[in-house]
Amino acid sequence: MGAAWIAIVTARLSQHDDPVPWLSPKLGQARTMRWLTPEEVDLTLADPKVADPEVVEDPGVADPSMVCPVACIVISGPGGDPTMFEAYWKKMSERSAVTLAGSQSLSYNSDTKNLSWYLEPKLEQEIRRLHAIVSNVAVEEDDHYYIVVGTGSSQLIQAAFYALSQPPDAGDRPTTVVCAAPYYSAYPEITDLVRSRCFKWGGDARSFERDDEPFIELVTTPNNPDGAIREPVVNRPHQGKVVYDLAYYWPHFTPITSPANHDLMLFTISKCTGHAGSRIGWALVRDKEVAKKMIKFVDVSTIGVSKDSQLRAAKILETVSDSCSTAADIENFFVFSRNILKERWNRLRELVKVADLFTLLKYPIQYCRFAKDMADTIPAFGWIESKGEEDCAELLKKHKILGRCGTKFGVGKQFARISLVSKDEEFNLLLQRLSIIQGTDLNH
Ligand code: PMP
């Protein structure tokens, strides 16, 4: 093999898929570009399952501990790893950096006077400040919300189910958890993972018909995977509890039409700023008893949440809020991110309309209180429906595009989800491969 070239291998990886079996277990978990050892290169290139290694140029960098040939992998999984935001944070590297001394964060506790005893006061302050600036939640009005922080909002989804369902007496059925399809593909797994006796997954909310039973409905708005603006569909407020998953209710994704003021709302830094790796999510909870139970869940399952991550998240949110000030000397984070995503959507739509193979949803234009202008929803994901082919994800896969199949979201195989929040090079590769399916190869 040549001495200095780079092989780009697109591998199927996401947090919900198995590691790539033909890579070493350590490498199989990798999500970003990294150097491979010569043995890994040989293994990778020799394997027929590798989605065609592409030879591109000499990167001009060689890790002295690695012998040539040099290779790296680009993971372009069907998950929603929000690496698109890296470009902004590279510019803000110094401003958003946090230094933690060895003497910091030793105690489990952060503020024993707070109901949320593990919540870092600085994080609470920055969460409230950002919501007030963006005006996506009514935090400044008379309403009081308790903030419950979790290890990602994934942990808080379970905490909410724990808090909202009744401890069952013998013979009781668990509370049914439903969400209108297409729903976020992790909800069924999160709900049923520990086979709780208190709650269980019930599938599509539109087909939930048991009139006499308590239920929990998840309302994701804008929705993952299809970006739709949603409201509850099970109309029985006295029997059911609603959990609003507002992971995408931020101005880069959608117009902020009014401050949300629901009883239980979930947010995550993963989608707000792109820091999925810091694993910080927060719930805004109106009822003190519900908040207490959610805190108990986090207490018992992980004895609080990493203070290091909380302090980092606080700094990141602070930088975002600072960037939104009219006197800011840095680029507005939401404007920057929206522009990139908008440009990607325009390119995707242009490409898709060339041939009559796929459809993409259209989104309404509404007044955004944050932008003080009209804006449309530009979701983090493309939700595509194939017109002719039965299995959309399979069709994409044949062209080495890794989408997540509609069946994982509770709908048919004619749908698939692709991520629009990957890095530029991955997105360009995606468009290039889509253009081949469309018969308009961008390379030619
Ligand atoms: N809710 C929705 C709708 C999501 O899309 C995601 C992430 N894909 C989550 C929750 C989980 O986010 P976190 O990284 O905070 O666990």
Cα 288 to averaged position of ligand 1 atoms, centre (Å): 24
Residues 6+ apart with CB under 8 A from 386: 357, 358, 392, 395, 414, 416
Q: State the pLDDT at residue 243.
A: 98
Cα 283 to averaged position of ligand 1 atoms, centre (Å): 12
Q: What percent of the chain has pLDDT over 90?
A: 68
The protein residue with its alpha carbon nearest to ligand 1, atom 8, reads 80
Cα 56 to averaged position of ligand 1 atoms, centre (Å): 34
Q: What is the CATH number of domain 332-438?
A: 3.90.1150.10
Q: State the pLDDT at residue 443.
A: 60
Cα Rg, the chain, nearest whole Å: 23
Least confident of 15-19, 214-218, 236-240, 292-296: 15-19
Distances (CA, A) of 90 to 261, 312, 420: 34, 15, 19
The protein residue with its alpha carbon nearest to ligand 1, atom 5, reads 224
Give the Cα separation of 299 and 392 in Å (integer): 42
Cα 244 to averaged position of ligand 1 atoms, centre (Å): 12
194-211 pLDDT per residue, tens:
999 999 999 999 999 887
Residue of 118, 117, 139, 113 lying closest to 127 (CA atoms)? 139
Closest ligand 1 atom number to CA of residue 269: 15
Residue of 252, 245, 198, 199 lying closest to 225 (CA atoms)? 245
Q: State the pLDDT at residue 82.
A: 92
Cα 146 to averaged position of ligand 1 atoms, centre (Å): 20
Cα 60 to averaged position of ligand 1 atoms, centre (Å): 37
Architecture of the domain delimited by 121-324: 3-Layer(aba) Sandwich (3.40)
Pocket test for ligand 1, best of 149, 268, 302 (most atoms within 8 A of CB): 268
Residue of 208, 209, 205 lying closest to 219 (CA atoms)? 205
> Which has more pLDDT, 95 or 29?
95
Give the containing element (helix H, strand E) for 241. strand 240-245
81-101 pLDDT per residue, tens:
899 999 999 999 999 999 999
**Do 435 and 442 form a contact (C-beta atoms < 8 A)?**
yes
106-142 pLDDT per residue, tens:
999 999 999 999 999 999 999 999 999 999 998 766 6
400-432 pLDDT per residue, tens:
888 999 999 999 999 999 999 999 988 999 999
Q: What mean pLDDT is reported for the chain? A: 84
**Do 393 and 383 form a contact (C-beta atoms < 8 A)?**
no
- Scored b (16 or more CB within 10 A) or e, 208-240 reads beeeeebbbbbbbbbbbbbbbebebebeeeeeb
What residues are in contact with ligand 1 under a 6 Å CB criterion? Answer: 80, 152-154, 184, 220, 224, 245, 247, 268, 270, 276, 281
- Sign (positive/negative) of CA torsion 389, 395, 346, 363? positive
- Domain ranges in the chain? 6-75, 121-324, 332-438
Q: State the pLDDT at residue 36.
A: 53
Q: State the pLDDT at residue 40.
A: 57
> Which has more pLDDT, 400 or 165?
165
Residue of 353, 356, 337 lying closest to 251 (CA atoms)? 337
Q: State the pLDDT at residue 363.
A: 96
Pocket test for ligand 1, best of 264, 271, 298, 421 (most atoms within 8 A of CB): 271
Q: State the pLDDT at residue 143.
A: 65
